[in-house]
């Protein structure tokens, strides 16, 4: 789900087959339409807002799973009754990056995986506030901070 043209293009390069630009009720309706009216088996929530979590939960089929990697931005409370009634699970937290180094580092070093493609702006560490502003204002996908 994205309304950011540069992110959409990168998502397609990484293998995305469909892009959903709608949000809220319209976004959920679009996902349900794409998945025969029942929702997706698994949904990954990457934003961390109350609205994005709500959309993720409502886009998931009964018995499905929402994984979250978005850092919760205050006010994100899980609707326990909704989760119980739909049997939708929620799981996530800080990514255990070290668990994947042995598997992924050789692929990165060989060029099979190019994670750097998400960085479309480079700034000095002293400009960290500008880096966050650029991402928030959709002037950058991700910012690489250098010393």
Residue 48: CATH number of its domain: 3.40.50.720
Q: Determine what percent of the chain is predicted with pLDDT higher than 70.
A: 98
Find tokens 């994947």 and name the residue: 100
Q: Same structural domain for residues 21 and 76?
A: yes
Secondary structure (DSSP) of 62-114: EEEEEEE-SPP-SS----HHHHHHHT-EEEE-S--GGGGHHHHHHHHHHTS--
Q: Same structural domain for residues 77 and 26?
A: yes
Mean pLDDT within 72-93: 89
**Final residue in a domain of this structure, among 57, 73, 92:** 92
Mean pLDDT within 108-127: 94
**Final residue in a domain of this structure, among 70, 92, 114:** 92
Residue 144 confidence (pLDDT) above 80:
yes
pLDDT of residue 47: 86
pLDDT averaged over the chain?
93
Global pTM value: 0.81
How does pLDDT run across 15-51, given as a tens digit for each residue? 999 999 999 999 999 999 999 999 999 999 988 889 9
Q: Same structural domain for residues 10 and 47?
A: yes
Rounded alpha-carbon distances, angstroms, from residue 18 to 15, 28, 32, 147? 9, 14, 13, 37
pLDDT of residue 45: 93
């Amino acid at each position: 789900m994205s309304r950011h043209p540069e992110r959409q293009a990168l998502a397609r390069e990484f293998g995305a087959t469909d892009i959903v630009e709608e949000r809220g009720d319209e976004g959920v309706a679009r996902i349900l339409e794409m998945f025969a009216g029942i929702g997706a088996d698994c949904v990954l929530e990457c934003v961390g807002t109350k609205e994005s979590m709500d959309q993720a939960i409502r886009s998931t089929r009964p018995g499905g799973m929402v994984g979250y990697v978005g850092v919760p931005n205050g006010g994100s409370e899980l609707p326990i009754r909704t989760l119980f009634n739909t049997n939708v699970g929620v799981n996530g937290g800080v990514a255990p990056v070290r668990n994947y180094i042995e598997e992924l580092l050789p692929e990165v070093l060989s060029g099979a995986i190019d994670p750097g493609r998400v960085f479309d702006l480079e700034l000095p560490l002293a400009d960290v506030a500008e880096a966050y502003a650029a991402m928030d204002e959709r002037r950058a996908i991700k910012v690489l901070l250098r010393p």
